[in-house]
Structure 1
């Protein structure tokens, strides 16, 4: 029991009324000190609890899965500022047999508060190439899962665009991961120098909704800064002209770019762009661990949809079809906006199928 538990509040109020404010200040100081200590202890409990959940999730076998399920079900632990369930789902998909996961988490239903874990785990498995139809419990989840949930928009089978997804490697002692954002050697179409210093008369036409869609993956990964722009062209432009046009567009990410400053650009395939956006969202930036596989999948698709100009309300299949019909570019530049650090800067541009719309995403993880 705290020394303050038995404090006679009526006597304290009487002292205050008598002008004895010093004793009330002393009481406040004691309370402040005890509160600070309680917060410190709570944070330590959270840290230790998170480690216990991590170890259970990383330990293969149905026994550890059963105990983890019981802990999550009965105690519903909160382990920090973000809900732990997407992270737990990612660990489970990385370290356990699909049959064990299906039997433990999808055959025993009834705890609705764990549907978030099931939904995240389902998409983590899909991204790793698991066919839900091969496991009755997973197949039934596609029918009974909450239809209102944001992840319900995602397809229940892995798209060809998603086949090259990158995942972190985790163990009890740590993790290793990286976002593959460096400009490749293959497919380079750098514009010749010196380039024109004239800026294009085109104007950014991105609406607030389109802007939010384009930057969705970068925002989810909590990178340092991001920008999005959409330019509508008066006439169709050939893909070969886009590398010359990009550095002239009125975008802050290319402000100050001189006629001979480095501007590198490469043609990329839609799956390579999706892979970059997925890594950005799922694994996060230098000071963040991202939103993990399930939500990384969602926000990568959201960014692809905005970049390729998919209509509002389009399905994942419709977004994929439009992405396949678009022409994609990956660029870097020596400007103040970009910092040139490895795996910390990139730009993406998409030329629409009718070749009359160019959408651009710029991302940097350097403050």
Structure 2
């Protein structure tokens, strides 16, 4: 017979140590079994509360109007939701608000730091959500003021305060109270194709991967943030400058797991792509996530897309956004797919990106797959 909760606590703190010392460990084990069962039940109850709370927050965020918005902000200010449910994350709430609330209402309420002192994380995320959707962040007002008062230590403060031209027309998921629709447009385009002729040379390249741990982590930032199934990164320093036309034939010969075992006639398709299309692919990977995750949403999706682009283009580790942009614009970008075992070739779930540096003496590669 199970003990009442108060009685169980008395036994744990009052008798367990003594009973164990007097040779009755089975009594202690019985206490532990009861505690484990109650702990599991309490965790499930907590998860149920989190699911309910996330649903209510979603309703408030998705109901247009200042009244609903104010009630949500009051909740977040007075009783900040705690838990691990994705729907309780501030970045997710900011993304919902940017999708469903009017920009003037958001600017007038959320960015009033006198009224809502504790919501800097919400403001930080919402600023970039609105920026990517085309909100004017340069005209004098709360949005521009935020760039001067935001915490300088915050990771999102590294990003440009204005939307760059290659970030225009970013894709976002579509959410309702009970559902959502999203997807990463990772399929290789028909334009810009540079597929090397088959059979390809079977001689492997003598180049060796020189990616450090830090560079590897920077390159894979977007798929890692998006929770994709697997990703890899490689960097190769060339003995002499290559022309962009030489890169497609070199890629399948490089010592990379993503092309290991690829035969001379196996499918290897590659296309040259503008930098903006590469950024959008990286942004969607991080922001929308994979088939089993919801991603990190617009603000942090923007950050990790820039990080991956920095690593691929070879920007210095301490480079600011302006230097990363310049390096990326001067790089040559490629998108590839292959029938290698590493890829699973499900539509929208596999891709490879390669970047030829501005001096044409460095090739960096990112491969990502969203299948297990």
**What TM bracket, shorter-length normalisation?**
over 0.9
Which residue of 1 is the match for residue 289 of structure 2?
Answer: 284
- Aligned-partner Cα distance in 1 for 2:21–2:253: 72
Which residue of 2 is the match for residue 266 of structure 1?
Answer: 271
Does 1:52 find its partner at 2:56?
A: yes
Q: What is the correspondence of 1:123-202 to structure 2 with a 5 Å cutoff?
A: 123-134=128-139, 136-202=141-207
- What is the TM-score of this pair, normalised by structure 2? 0.94
Change (3 A) 1:199 1:173: same
Task: Identify the match of residue 228 of structure 1 among 230, 233, 237.
Answer: 233
Does 1:43 find its partner at 2:44?
A: no
Which residue of 2 is the match for residue 350 of structure 1?
Answer: 355
Q: Tell me by how many angstroms 1:21 deviates.
A: 4.7
Does 1:77 find its partner at 2:78?
A: no
Which residue of 2 is the match for residue 64 of structure 1?
Answer: 68
- What is the TM-score of this pair, normalised by structure 1? 0.95
Q: Check whether the contact 2:222–2:285 (CA below 8 A) recurs between aligned residues.
A: yes
Q: Check whether the contact 1:49–1:79 (CA below 8 A) recurs between aligned residues.
A: no
Q: Tell me by how many angstroms 1:29 deviates.
A: 2.8
Which residue of 1 is the match for residue 31 of structure 2?
Answer: 27
Does 1:318 find its partner at 2:323?
A: yes
1:185-210 residue CA offsets vs partner (Å, 9 max, x unmatched) = 11111000010000111111112211
Q: Check whether the contact 1:224–1:364 (CA below 8 A) recurs between aligned residues.
A: yes
1:235-282 residue CA offsets vs partner (Å, 9 max, x unmatched) = 111111111111111111111111110000011000000000000000
- Aligned-partner Cα distance in 2 for 1:132–1:13: 63
- Aligned-partner Cα distance in 2 for 1:12–1:282: 50
- Aligned-partner Cα distance in 1 for 2:261–2:21: 67
Q: Check whether the contact 2:51–2:85 (CA below 8 A) recurs between aligned residues.
A: no
- Aligned-partner Cα distance in 1 for 2:362–2:196: 20
Change (3 A) 1:104 1:197: same
- Aligned-partner Cα distance in 1 for 2:231–2:304: 14
Q: Tell me by how many angstroms 1:113 deviates.
A: 3.5
Q: Check whether the contact 2:138–2:162 (CA below 8 A) recurs between aligned residues.
A: no
Q: Tell me by how many angstroms 1:109 deviates.
A: 3.5
- How many residues get paired? 366
- Aligned-partner Cα distance in 1 for 2:140–2:177: 29
Change (3 A) 1:11 1:321: closer
Which residue of 1 is the match for residue 342 of structure 2?
Answer: 337
Q: Tell me by how many angstroms 1:168 deviates.
A: 0.4
- Aligned-partner Cα distance in 1 for 2:27–2:352: 61
- Aligned-partner Cα distance in 2 for 1:161–1:251: 29
Query: What stretches of structure 2 of length at least 5 have no aligned partner?
Result: none
Q: What is the correspondence of 1:202-241 to structure 2 with a 5 Å cutoff?
A: 202-241=207-246
- Aligned-partner Cα distance in 2 for 1:289–1:12: 45
Change (3 A) 1:16 1:251: closer
Change (3 A) 1:248 1:16: closer
Cα root mean square deviation, aligned: 1.7
Q: Check whether the contact 1:200–1:250 (CA below 8 A) recurs between aligned residues.
A: yes
